[in-house]
A and B are shown apart, each in its own frame.
Chain A
């Protein structure tokens, strides 16, 4: 077993994270035991961050004790692995608008001490600003299928991220336009993001996800 990033391991081509709640599965993933430590397999087809890692993401600065703002948690598949990495001292605010998926996420939050559900619209950060004022956010992660993905990301970054902090966004081209050329869409979105961020790297997620791009950035 090899450590790729802090808290993230790889073994026989599989990406693993240390299970924060040993014995419990989140979405039906495999549990792997090595010695006394239990790991959870991270499925690249279900999580865009894992897909990016599989495709050779070079740098990922996440570590124990970080505070994360996660826009578009849905059922918390990716969030659960992030929660494995940041462990008990960190905290993840999972923002989502859909009450249907939020029901599942709340259950997950009750199991994991570092997850917090926020049922709000990510387009309106002023609504959940008050909950975040005591915790400094070090990572802003976004996975939304909205037309204004980049604008929403910038808006949240302006409010919560300090200079030099990390921003990760998964851009879904299909929800921006179904007719335009995909490369063009990505270019436009990157232009928009450059207003607030320095882009470190961008990784297309084929074959795990179609027409998706994951960008890792630093706040200007």
Chain B
């Protein structure tokens, strides 16, 4: 009995120590951040939609005039009631003379109903919160960019830090991603389509997350699959450069990719 207890205590101690000291790679922080990025985007869009809807009771015309979320929220937050919308004040937050004039005239003869101070306060606080979330997101993007440049300089220069971090999050770990063939990188993020293809012989996916890459976006629609394939193979090379040599030599790859993109567009 005592022996058994000793063993148990010893093993618990050992496991505790091992869990605590086991190396956690830098990439786990990047992956967390990349996952949170898309969450923050979603939250921001939801809050923005809500504030827009609510403020629309008071000033529905602004809905069609201001399309940029940050500007809309800033106007609501800083100016508040419709009667405060003068051209000069609007110009502070929306640097577009023509639009500012339009907004002012619309504000003067709006069909929206009057609202009370307490209602406005709530709307404004909602707008403020959404702006803060946007700010948080931007600072997180900066963080991801910095960390990706440090960990995978060649890769993130070719593919963009945020997209690179998303790919890394799909792959799970840097070492895992480095060992992936280019064809796997090409369809990262399209697992559902890939397995559907393997299982039932449907058409295979041409790209997963790589669809978001500017090179893939800029070429002709029919050539997107080709571009994604070239891009994935270059990314795979860049990853190997990062992992095994740590030297920056992405320029050659980037030139080749640019050439390929111009061929295909």
Known: A178-B195, A178-B199. A119 touches B18 (CB 8 A): yes
Q: Are B4 and A102 in contact (CB under 8 A)?
A: no
Contacts of A109 in B (CB 8 A): 8, 12, 15
**B222 within 8 Å of A by Cβ?**
no
**B2 within 8 Å of A by Cβ?**
no
Within the complex, the shortest CB–CB distance from A105 to chain B, in Å, comes to 8
Q: Are A99 and B7 in contact (CB under 8 A)?
A: no
Q: Are A117 and B12 in contact (CB under 8 A)?
A: yes
Number of interface residues of A (CB under 8 A): 18
State the majority secondary structure of interface residues on B.
helix
Q: Are B22 and A116 in contact (CB under 8 A)?
A: no
**What mask results when residues 110 to 123 of chain A are scored 1 for a CB within 8 Å of chain B, else 0?**
10010111110000
Residue of A nearest to B11 (CB): A116
Residue of A nearest to B17 (CB): A119
Per the bound structure, the CA–CA distance linking A131 and B8 in Å amounts to 10
Per the bound structure, the CA–CA distance linking A99 and B28 in Å amounts to 13
Within the complex, the shortest CB–CB distance from A91 to chain B, in Å, comes to 6
Q: Are A118 and B198 in contact (CB under 8 A)?
A: no
Contacts of B12 in A (CB 8 A): 106, 109-110, 116-117
State the majority secondary structure of interface residues on A.
mixed
Contacts of B3 in A (CB 8 A): 134
Set A99, A113, A131: member contacting B19, Cβ < 8 A: A99
**B67 within 8 Å of A by Cβ?**
no
Q: Are B198 and A179 in contact (CB under 8 A)?
A: yes
Counted as pairs of residues, one from A and one from B, with CB atoms less than 8 Å apart, the total is: 42
Q: Are A116 and B7 in contact (CB under 8 A)?
A: yes
Could you say which of B12, B22, B199 has the most chain A C-beta atoms within 10 Å of its C-beta?
Answer: B12
Contacts of B16 in A (CB 8 A): 106
**What mask results when residues 1 to 41 of chain B are scored 1 for a CB within 8 Å of chain A, else 0?**
00111011001101110110010000000000000000000
Per the bound structure, the CA–CA distance linking A158 and B44 in Å amounts to 57
Q: Are B195 and A91 in contact (CB under 8 A)?
A: no
Set B8, B19, B198, B199: member contacting A119, Cβ < 8 A: B19
**A103 within 8 Å of B by Cβ?**
yes
**A206 within 8 Å of B by Cβ?**
no
Per the bound structure, the CA–CA distance linking A131 and B5 in Å amounts to 12
Q: Are B198 and A106 in contact (CB under 8 A)?
A: no
Per the bound structure, the CA–CA distance linking A179 and B195 in Å amounts to 8
Q: Are A91 and B4 in contact (CB under 8 A)?
A: yes
Residue of A nearest to B18 (CB): A119
Show the binding face of A for B, using Cβ within 8 Å.
Answer: 91, 99, 102-103, 106, 109-110, 113, 115-119, 131, 134-135, 178-179
Show the binding face of B for A, using Cβ within 8 Å.
Answer: 3-5, 7-8, 11-12, 14-16, 18-19, 22, 195, 198-199
- The contact sample of 11 A-B pairs, CB cut-off 8 A, is A106-B15, A113-B8, A115-B8, A116-B11, A117-B11, A119-B14, A119-B15, A119-B18, A119-B19, A135-B4, A178-B195
Known: A102-B15, A106-B16. 15 other contacts (CB 8 A): A91-B8, A99-B18, A99-B22, A109-B12, A116-B7, A117-B12, A117-B15, A118-B11, A118-B15, A119-B14, A119-B15, A119-B18, A131-B7, A135-B4, A179-B199
